[in-house]
């Protein structure tokens, strides 16, 4: 018997150790290919629901197909996509107005939310606003757009360009209004004669 012939284990271990440094090396090009882009979101949530409260009282519920949060101080924003629904609750906690859109962005430093693409805002009276872009300002509690709008109120349809409203869409002003509608006494469009 030759020396070492009956002991193959040390040779196998030595061979495995010799290949170990080669197996653990990284190809820097492959590592660079999987690096995260600088503008990539810090957190992504799918089929999300966020509840916003003030002093324990529910104010808003946000649902979105995809929420991408960018948390860096200089670019803090939340991108909403794949459909969103924002429900406003009244002082008693009942759901009131509902805002839906295909996409949006929340800019907390500016206390602003912008929604776009197939924007629909329905108030507690059933009045329905349709537009392509709407801005909600948290600090003033107002929403506005400078885009064409369509409001369905029962049998009336009102068209215009531009709108400003309170955040629950219970009172609003349309700029450059067009369309045919009936104004009843006590209606939000009714005015008193001088």
Which pTM was predicted? 0.73
Task: Examine the pLDDT at 2 and tell me if it is beyond 60.
Answer: no
- DSSP conformational letter for 73: G
107-164 pLDDT, tens digit per residue, is 999 999 999 999 999 999 999 999 999 999 989 989 999 999 999 988 888 899 999 9
Whether 111 contacts 139, CB under 8 Å: yes
Rounded Cα–Cα distance for residues 23 and 16 (Å): 10
Q: So what's the pLDDT on residue 13? A: 57
Rounded Cα–Cα distance for residues 123 and 114 (Å): 18
Rounded Cα–Cα distance for residues 145 and 115 (Å): 10
Rounded Cα–Cα distance for residues 20 and 158 (Å): 74
Q: Would you tell me how many other CB atoms lie within 10 Å of the CB of residue 142?
A: 14
Q: So what's the pLDDT on residue 18? A: 58
Task: Examine the pLDDT at 191 and tell me if it is beyond 50.
Answer: no
Q: So what's the pLDDT on residue 194? A: 42
Q: Which domains does the chain have, with CATH numbers?
A: 41-180 (2.60.450.10)
Q: What is the mean pLDDT of the chain?
A: 84
Task: Find, among 68, 71, 79, 130, the residue nearest to 103 by Cα.
Answer: 79
Rounded Cα–Cα distance for residues 66 and 13 (Å): 51
With pLDDT > 70 as the criterion, what percentage of the chain qualifies? 74
β-pairing verdict for 178-180 and 103-107: unpaired
- What are the φ and ψ backbone dihedral angles of 88, each rounded to 5 degrees? -100, 135
Using 50, 70 and 90 to split pLDDT, how confident is the model at 185? Answer: confident
């Amino acid at each position: 018997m030759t020396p070492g012939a009956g002991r193959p284990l040390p040779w196998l271990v030595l061979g495995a150790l010799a290949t170990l440094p080669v197996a653990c090396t990284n190809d820097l090009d492959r590592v660079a290919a999987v690096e995260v882009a600088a503008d990539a979101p810090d957190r992504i949530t799918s089929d999300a629901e966020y509840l916003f409260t003030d002093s324990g009282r529910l104010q808003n519920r946000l649902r979105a197909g995809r929420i991408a949060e960018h948390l860096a101080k200089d670019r803090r924003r939340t991108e909403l996509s794949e459909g969103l629904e924002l429900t406003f609750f009244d002082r008693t906690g009942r759901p009131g107005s509902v805002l839906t859109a295909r996409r949006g962005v929340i800019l907390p430093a500016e206390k602003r939310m912008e929604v776009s693409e197939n924007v629909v805002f329905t108030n507690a009276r059933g009045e329905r606003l349709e537009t392509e872009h709407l801005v909600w300002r948290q600090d003033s509690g107002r929403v506005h757009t400078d885009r064409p709008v369509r409001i369905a109120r029962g049998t009336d349809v009102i068209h215009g360009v531009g709108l400003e409203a309170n955040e629950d869409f219970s009172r609003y002003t349309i700029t450059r209004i067009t369309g045919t509608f009936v104004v009843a006494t006590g209606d939000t469009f009714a005015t008193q004669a001088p």
